[in-house]
Amino acid sequence: MALNERVCVYIDGFNLYFGITSSYPKLKWLDVEALFNNLLKDNQTLINCNYFTARVRNNQPKERRQSKYLDALQTTAIEIIYGKFYSKPVSCRRCQNTWKGNEEKMTDVNIAVKILTDALEDKYDTAIIISGDSDLTPPVRAIKKFYPDKKVVVAFPPNRSSYELRNIAHGSFTIGLAKLLASQLPKSIETKTGYIINKPNEWL
């Protein structure tokens, strides 16, 4: 067993959020840095934790809750990398009604670029991807081809999985209830400037 194995974590924020929401909706106030410190083996060291997301739009209650959560995460030692959140018209072919749909963009690309760049800069021995999105299969395949000394492990959020990712990665597992329970942020967090961040009432 290698000593002091360096680990970098790459989190698909929306995939993780909706996975938790579908199974454990009261556990969305998640301290992702604590989660992966709780998941590490004795011979592993967490080098950095990268959280990929986009700011939601056109829904003020959701915007407010997400802002609180992102502000809370920024009090921990993680890096938040933002994509884009787009609104686009969606039509029903049967009834011909049209409404605004929302779509998050760039997360897959941002994760792929970051995990490959970090491999090039030799920042990790093992990369852990938190997602059930099969679109992340190509960067995992590239890591295995060009950096055979490095490992990629996929941690599936609750109720999320991908046959393609499971079969291309060096290993995979599903994040369980016990680890989520043990990795919650405090209900109230005081920032360095004295600002208090409270867990949204809807998440209590």
The third-level CATH classification (topology) of the domain covering 5-203 is Rossmann fold (3.40.50)
The strand pair at 84-91 and 98-105 is best described as antiparallel
Domain residue limits, the chain: 5-203
Residue 187, classified by CB atoms within 10 Å of its CB into exposed (0-12), middle (13-18) or buried (19+), is: exposed
Model pLDDT for residues 83-130, shown as the tens digit of each residue: 876 566 555 567 666 645 556 668 999 999 999 999 999 999 999 999
Per-residue pLDDT, averaged over 19-38, amounts to 95
Beta strand residue intervals within 17-161, DSSP E:
44-53, 79-82, 84-91, 98-105, 126-130, 151-156
Model pLDDT for residues 43-60, shown as the tens digit of each residue: 999 999 999 999 988 889
Q: Is the pLDDT of residue 5 over 70?
A: yes
Which residues are bridge partners to 50 per DSSP?
A: 10, 79
Per-residue pLDDT, averaged over 157-178, amounts to 96
Please report which confidence band the pLDDT of residue 200 belongs to, taking 50, 70 and 90 as the band edges.
very high
Per-residue pLDDT, averaged over 141-154, amounts to 97
Beta strand residue intervals within 26-150, DSSP E:
44-53, 79-82, 84-91, 98-105, 126-130
Q: Is the pLDDT of residue 7 over 90?
A: yes
Would you state the structure tokens that stand for residue 181, as one six-digit string?
Answer: 């329970």
pLDDT of residue 1: 45
